[in-house]
Amino acid sequence: MAENTFLQGTWFLLFGVLLVGYAILDGFDLGVGMQHLYTARTDRERRTLLNAIGPVWDGNEVWLITAGGALFAAFPRVYATVFSGFYLALMLVLAALILRAVSLEFRSKEPGRGWRTTWDAAFSIGSILPAILFGVAIGNVMRGVPLTADAEYAGDFLGLLSPFAIAVGLLSASMFLMQGGAWLQLKTEGVIRDRARRVAVVGWVATLVMWVVVTAWSRVEAPGLWDAYGSILAWVAPAAFVVLAVAFPLLLRVHREGWAFLASSGIVAALVGTLGIALYPVLLPARGSGESLTANNTASSDLTLTVMLIIAVIGMPLVLTYTTWVYRTFRGKVVLDEEHGY
């Protein structure tokens, strides 16, 4: 087990950064899918939405895989507990993500209206479920889960579906809906962009409402999270959330689409950061008499964390450079033409 608290804290932070990257990037993918049946009404419009995320969606999901790998290597006991205790929930998420990926690949294989409508519906369902279930998982982390003395999950699947966890799931879905609408401002024009702007505003309002509900409710369901906010520095992330939440609709109104997307992404990062500050150094709080799993009591050896950190220092700049290149290459509005079809 690691003894170097710097390494433990660094990997707690890096794991959080990977989650932020996933929430921002795959968040807009999921948000586009959630509004797919409303924002796009015709076959051509729906193809436009799919093309808006087509070049990047699978790369965005790599952030989730990397976060899982980092958790496995840096905090193996947490990985074992989460993936065994949340097994059924995680399988539902995996099934939804597979359904979503298959829909993207199969939708245009046949021209029939029934065929395409079926896959369009599957794409939306495969986007809505993960958006909610990811939030439900976070809600359970916030309120804590029942753990045995051996750090094994002592509950069941239905126990994960508490009203508070579902409320956090709705907050997550609202946030992704806003993010998806903001992305479509960058990638579409005309009536699609107008509808997406309305969806982005609805997502923004729902995010604010659910944020207030979850924040107030956490005083009862997860009072331990408030301990960290005795320091004024801890309020940086919540303050950033408020500023960006005010700026987002104003930027949409003046058609500053790029800045609006950055504001939406900042809202996502601020929410994740607010939770990370509240939890540190706990990764999985125990509800009841069990021992919480923290960065201190679950970390791998110092050697493992050091080698991983060296790899991360070398690899992360390469990943960020490649990601930036991909997004720059495919920047601009989506245009459908006869050559590429739809």
Q: What pLDDT, on the 0 to 100 scale, is given for residue 246?
A: 97
State the chain's mean pLDDT as an integer: 92
Smallest CA-to-CA distance from 99 within 27, 40, 33, 161 is with: 33
Between 53 and 157, whose confidence is greater? Answer: 53
Task: Check if the beta carbon of residue 182 is closer than 8 Å to that of residue 260.
Answer: yes
Q: What pLDDT, on the 0 to 100 scale, is given for residue 173?
A: 97
pLDDT digits (tens, 9 = 90+) for 96-136: 999 999 998 899 888 898 999 999 999 999 999 999 999 99
Between 176 and 335, whose confidence is greater? Answer: 176
Between 211 and 155, whose confidence is greater? Answer: 211
Alpha helix ranges (H) inside 155-231: 163-187, 190-221
Backbone angles phi, psi at 280, to 5 degrees: -50, 130
pLDDT digits (tens, 9 = 90+) for 183-200: 999 999 999 999 999 999
Q: Is 20 exposed, middle or buried (0-12, 13-18, 19+ CB in 10 A)?
A: buried
Axis crossing angle, helix 5-34 with helix 302-329, rounded to the nearest 10: 30
Smallest CA-to-CA distance from 21 within 83, 68, 54 is with: 68
Question: What residues pair up with 147 in beta bridges, in sequence order?
Answer: 153
**Type of residue at 3:** E
Question: What residues pair up with 284 in beta bridges, in sequence order?
Answer: 293
Rounded average pLDDT over 221-249 = 94
Cα 46–Cα 248–Cα 143 angle in degrees, nearest 5: 90
Smallest CA-to-CA distance from 35 within 205, 199, 257 is with: 199
Report whether pLDDT(301) > 90. yes
Local confidence band at 338 (pLDDT 50, 70, 90 cut-offs): low
Rounded average pLDDT over 303-324 = 93
Report whether pLDDT(340) > 70. no
d(CA 86, CA 195) in angstroms, rounded, equals 36
Local confidence band at 153 (pLDDT 50, 70, 90 cut-offs): confident
Task: Check if the beta carbon of residue 70 is closer than 8 Å to that of residue 158.
Answer: no
Q: What pLDDT, on the 0 to 100 scale, is given for residue 159?
A: 86
Question: What residues pair up with 153 in beta bridges, in sequence order?
Answer: 147
Dihedral sign, Cα of residue 241, residue 243, residue 249, residue 251: negative
Question: What residues pair up with 145 in beta bridges, in sequence order?
Answer: 286
- For the chain, give every domain's residue range: 5-329
Report whether pLDDT(1) > 70. no
Other beta carbons within 10 angstroms of residue 189's beta carbon come to 12
pLDDT digits (tens, 9 = 90+) for 38-90: 999 999 999 999 999 989 998 899 999 999 999 999 999 999 999 888 888 88
pTM, rounded to two decimals: 0.94
CA distances from 116 to 40, 44, 109 (A): 13, 11, 9
Q: What pLDDT, on the 0 to 100 scale, is given for residue 156?
A: 84
Rounded average pLDDT over 140-157 = 88
Q: What pLDDT, on the 0 to 100 scale, is given for residue 236?
A: 95
Rounded average pLDDT over 294-319 = 94
Task: Check if the beta carbon of residue 275 is closer than 8 Å to that of residue 139.
Answer: no
pLDDT digits (tens, 9 = 90+) for 240-268: 999 999 999 999 999 999 999 999 999 99
d(CA 51, CA 333) in angstroms, rounded, equals 10
Q: What pLDDT, on the 0 to 100 scale, is given for residue 337?
A: 67
d(CA 121, CA 240) in angstroms, rounded, equals 36
Longest dimension (CA), the chain: 64
**Type of residue at 135:** G
Smallest CA-to-CA distance from 271 within 79, 42, 23 is with: 23
d(CA 177, CA 132) in angstroms, rounded, equals 11
